[in-house]
């Protein structure tokens, strides 16, 4: 896949243009284009418009038997005609989002070695150590703006899927294009194959990755160092998004690289920003102040710690002392409540440890701590039981429940459980989508705290401002911008986030706010255009066909 602008300068003819997904228009090539490009006889004679093509795509889409078949169908479309793919996804974003990303992408990754059709992106294995520059040089486009990279060790809540995790970078970059208008030719998905500890994959003759145990320790770190150094050399303008690395590596790699490279970790910072935006929006419903909230996090991994730290930053911006802000966050891990008397805590957990009795059962913890907000980031499905939620609802008129684990099977509770066990009083958000719930003669629309509300806009803002590093302050800016988008009507129906059909507008606003914040904080290395809003709008990729007779 080469850069689109470069391709237009030297248009391929005949079957070659039909085989390039960036240029292919299928049955939409005009008579003049067919003559000019040597396509006579290679296509059926009737010419279809982009809208008619989309109509046919949707008809076939709905005819598929299940969501995985729909996923395969849409990926096949992406492989042959990217313009039509993105036109369809943008127009039908609320239908397409659960198919091309969570929750269906989880199942797709589990079966990736079976449904693999055509390679997308780059696979860099530990066998390529010392040769990564050559591997990156094999990518046909030198103008890369966004890279999403995974090592496949913690795919959603599904665990170690090795190279089968490639579905995640591919899906994330599709959302960069659909939601923030990053040109698809400038997106690069990468999977780092460092082995796998998944015994099923190690025994599976169809598995496409290295069948050896995962690299770890100094060898692993050296490999990642080489990767980062080489990417910065080959693609110096690229944003590098880390995705689905294991807890043991995610936070420490972010800390290691975030002040030296244009990089961020979406599972930590993106999740933190979208969760914080939901909490800020919740305050409009409860008429309370963010600084008066007490949070219990069920799960003390990188996602939970990330949310808590951004929450602390938001409170400090309001003038709340750091130690007071930290004291408003309580964590529960596999060992129970995170308290100072425990001797098994990491440094990140110690920051949030309380001088309190060591309790182990979640219901007892909620009963004792009396939080206003319960956040699930545990990957433990159905762990917010009816007694837990009813206890929370006993001392909160509008209990705030965020069950953020993905995919749907890992969600700490369903939307229906949260609403019914609180008699419709809960303010609910989840990581994966749930259907609307009818209760007390009212239809409530569950909020999906999807990172897609954050990372595309942040990425676009970073690209525009050319900031060499991505500070947490930019994610706080993104959270505040997102929280202003939910209308009073949306709030009344249970929504904490705007409808997905507004996602390009949201991403554009976040990009503008992030670029301005980067400039204000002297992070930007370029002067922003005088008419920033128009500039951002004009550079967003719009999936419409080019008239090749005028090129």
Annotate 219-243 with DSSP letters as a single string.
HHHHHHHHHHHHHHHHSTT-EEEE-
Q: What is the average per-residue pLDDT within 107-123? A: 93
- 474 preceded by a cis bond (ω within 30 of 0): no
* Secondary structure of 73-101 as H, E, C letters: HHHHHHHHCHHHHHHHHHHCHHHHHHHHC
Residue 509: pLDDT over 70: yes
Closest residue by Cα to residue 375 from 350, 358, 346, 399: 399
- pLDDT of 407 reads 86
Pairing of strands 427-430, 400-403: parallel
> What are the tokens at 205?
């003759």
What is the reported pLDDT for 196?
Answer: 98
Q: What is the pLDDT of residues 340-359, one digit of tens each?
A: 999 999 989 999 999 999 99
Confidence of residue 5 (pLDDT cuts 50, 70, 90): low
Summarised one tens digit per residue, pLDDT across range 6-22 is 666 689 999 999 999 99
Coil, helix or strand for 197? coil
Q: Which of 54-63, 78-87, 102-111 has the lowest mean pLDDT?
A: 102-111
Residue 126 has pLDDT above 60, yes or no: yes
Q: How far is CA 288 from the centre of its chain?
A: 29
Residue 544 predicted with pLDDT over 60: yes
Give the model's pLDDT for residue 250.
Answer: 95
DSSP string, 97-136: HHHHSTTHHHHHHHTHHHH--S--SEEEEGGGTT-HHHHH
The predicted model gives 329-338 an average pLDDT of 97
Beta-carbon contacts of residue 188 (< 8 Å; ≥ 6 apart): 121, 122, 139, 141, 144, 146, 147, 148, 173, 235, 238
User: Is residue 377 within 8 Å of 304, Cβ to Cβ?
Assistant: yes
CA 363/CA 386 separation, integer angstroms? 10
Mean pLDDT across the stretch 163-181?
Answer: 97
Task: Report the C-alpha gap between 417 and 437 in whole angstroms.
Answer: 10
H-helix segments, 318-424: 322-327, 347-350, 362-369, 386-394, 415-420
What's the pLDDT tens digit per position in 274-323? 999 999 999 999 999 999 999 999 999 999 999 999 999 999 999 999 99
- Cβ contacts of 306 within 8 Å, gap of 6 or more: 251, 265, 267, 268, 269, 271, 272
pLDDT for the residue 10: 81
Domains delineated in the chain: 49-245 (3.40.50.10380), 269-449 (3.40.50.720), 453-539 (3.40.50.10380)
Concatenate the DSSP letters of all residues of 483-512 into one string. Answer: HT---HHHHHTT-SS--GGGHHHHHHHHHH
Helix (H) or strand (E) holding 17: helix 15-18
- Predicted local distance difference test score (pLDDT) of residue 1: 42
pLDDT for residue 303: 94
Q: What is the mean pLDDT of residues 144-172?
A: 96
DSSP 339: B
Q: Does residue 2 surpass a pLDDT of 80?
A: no
DSSP state of 192: E
Determine the Cα–Cα distance for residues 518 and 470; give it in Å rounded to an integer: 9
CA atoms within 13 A on the CB side of 119: 10
Report the percent of the chain where pLDDT is more than 70: 98
To the question of pTM greater than 0.75 for the whole model, the response is: yes
Q: Which residues are catalytic?
A: 101, 172
User: So what's the pLDDT on residue 401?
Assistant: 98
Residues 370/395, Cβ–Cβ less than 8 Å:
yes
Mean pLDDT of 57-62: 98
pLDDT-derived band at 543, boundaries 50, 70, 90? very high
- Looking at every residue in the chain, the average pLDDT score rounds to 96
Cβ atoms of residues 526 and 473 within 8 Å? no
Distance CA(395)–CA(233), nearest Å, equals 56
Q: What is the pLDDT of residue 157?
A: 84
List residues bridging with 389 in a β-sheet: none
Residue 167, Cα to own-chain centre: how many angstroms? 12
C-alpha to C-alpha distance for 382 and 376, rounded to whole angstroms: 10
- Mean pLDDT within 507-515: 98
């Amino acid at each position: 896949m080469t850069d689109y602008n470069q391709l237009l300068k030297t248009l391929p003819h005949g079957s070659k243009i039909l085989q390039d997904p960036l240029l292919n228009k299928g049955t939409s090539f005009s008579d003049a284009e067919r003559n000019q490009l040597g396509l006579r006889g290679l296509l059926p004679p009737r010419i279809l418009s982009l809208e008619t093509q989309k109509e046919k795509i949707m008809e076939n889409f709905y005819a598929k038997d299940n969501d995985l078949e729909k996923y395969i169908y849409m990926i096949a479309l992406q492989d042959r005609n990217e313009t039509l793919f993105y036109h369809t996804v943008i127009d039908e974003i609320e239908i397409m989002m659960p198919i091309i990303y969570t929750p269906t992408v989880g199942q797709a990754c589990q079966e990736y070695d079976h449904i693999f059709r055509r390679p997308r992106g780059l696979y860099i294995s530990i066998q390529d150590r010392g040769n990564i520059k050559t591997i990156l040089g094999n990518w046909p486009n030198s103008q890369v703006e966004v890279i999403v990279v995974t090592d496949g060790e913690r795919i959603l809540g599904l665990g170690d899927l090795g190279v089968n995790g490639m579905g995640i970078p591919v899906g994330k970059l599709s959302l960069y294009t659909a939601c923030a208008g990053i040109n698809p030719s400038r997106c690069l998905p990468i999977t780092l194959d460092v082995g796998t500890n998944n015994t099923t994959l190690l025994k599976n003759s169809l598995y496409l990755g290295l069948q050896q145990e995962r690299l770890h320790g100094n060898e692993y770190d050296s490999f990642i160092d080489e990767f980062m150094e080489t990417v910065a050399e080959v693609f110096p303008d690229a944003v590098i998004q880390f995705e689905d690395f294991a807890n043991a590596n995610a936070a420490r790699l972010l800390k290691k690289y975030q002040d030296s490279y244009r990089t961020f970790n979406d599972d930590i910072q993106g999740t933190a920003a979208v969760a914080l935006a939901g909490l800020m929006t919740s305050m409009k419903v409860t008429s309370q102040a963010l600084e008066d909230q007490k949070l219990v996090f069920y799960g003390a991994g990188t996602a939970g710690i990330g949310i808590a730290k951004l929450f602390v930053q938001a409170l400090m911006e309001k003038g709340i002392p750091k130690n007071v802000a930290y004291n408003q966050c309580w964590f529960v891990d596999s060992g129970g409540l995170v308290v100072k008397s425990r001797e098994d805590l990491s440094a990140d957990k110690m920051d949030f440890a309380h001088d309190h009795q060591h309790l182990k059962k979640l219901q007892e913890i909620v009963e004792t701590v009396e939080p206003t907000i319960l956040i699930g980031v545990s990957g433990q499905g159905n762990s917010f039981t009816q007694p837990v939620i009813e206890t929370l609802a006993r001392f909160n008129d509008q209990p705030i429940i965020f069950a953020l684990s993905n995919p749907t099977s890992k969600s700490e509770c369903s939307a229906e459980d949260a609403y019914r066990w609180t008699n419709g009083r809960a303010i609910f958000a989840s990581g994966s989508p749930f259907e609307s719930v009818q209760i007390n003669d009212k239809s409530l629309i569950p909020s999906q705290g999807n990172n897609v509300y954050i990372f595309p806009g942040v990425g676009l803002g970073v690209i525009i401002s050319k900031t060499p590093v991505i500070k947490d302050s930019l994610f706080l800016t993104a959270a505040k911008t997102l929280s202003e988008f939910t209308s009073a009507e949306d709030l009344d129906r249970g929504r904490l986030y705007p409808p997905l059909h507004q996602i390009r507008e949201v991403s554009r606003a976040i990009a503008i706010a992030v670029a301005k914040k980067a400039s204000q904080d002297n992070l930007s290395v370029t002067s922003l255009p005088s008419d920033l809003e128009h500039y951002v709008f004009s550079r967003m990729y719009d999936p419409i066909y080019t008239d090749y007779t005028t090129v």
